[in-house]
Amino acid sequence: MSVGRRTKTPRLPPRWFVRLVWSLHRGAYRALGGRIGLWRPRARRWGALRLTTTGRRTGRPRSVIIAYVEDGPHLVALAMNGWGEGEPAWWLNLRTHPEATVDLAGGRRPVRGRAATGDERSRLWARWREIDPNLDAYAALRPSETAVVVLEPRQAE
Is residue 97 in some structural domain? yes
Q: What is the pTM of this model?
A: 0.84
For residue 29, give the CATH number of its domain. Answer: 2.30.110.10
DSSP state of 82: G
What is d(CA 131, CA 78) in angstroms, rounded to the nearest whole number? 13
Q: What residues make up the domain containing 99?
A: 15-153
- Encode pLDDT of 93-143 as tens digits: 999 999 999 999 989 999 999 999 999 999 999 999 999 988 999 898 888
Is residue 4 in some structural domain? no
Is residue 1 in some structural domain? no
Under a CB-based contact definition with an 8 Å cutoff, are residues 95 and 55 in contact? no
Sorted by sequence, the CB contacts under 8 Å of residue 20 that are 6+ apart come out as none
Cα angle 154-128-134, degrees, rounded to a multiple of 5: 155
Is residue 93 in some structural domain? yes
Q: How many domains does the chain have?
A: 1
- Tell me the residue length of the chain: 157
Is residue 32 in some structural domain? yes
Is residue 9 in some structural domain? no
What is d(CA 63, CA 58) in angstroms, rounded to the nearest whole number? 13
- Encode pLDDT of 142-154 as tens digits: 889 999 999 999 9
- 93 residue type, one letter: N
- Encode pLDDT of 31-73 as tens digits: 666 677 888 999 889 999 999 999 999 999 999 999 999 999 9
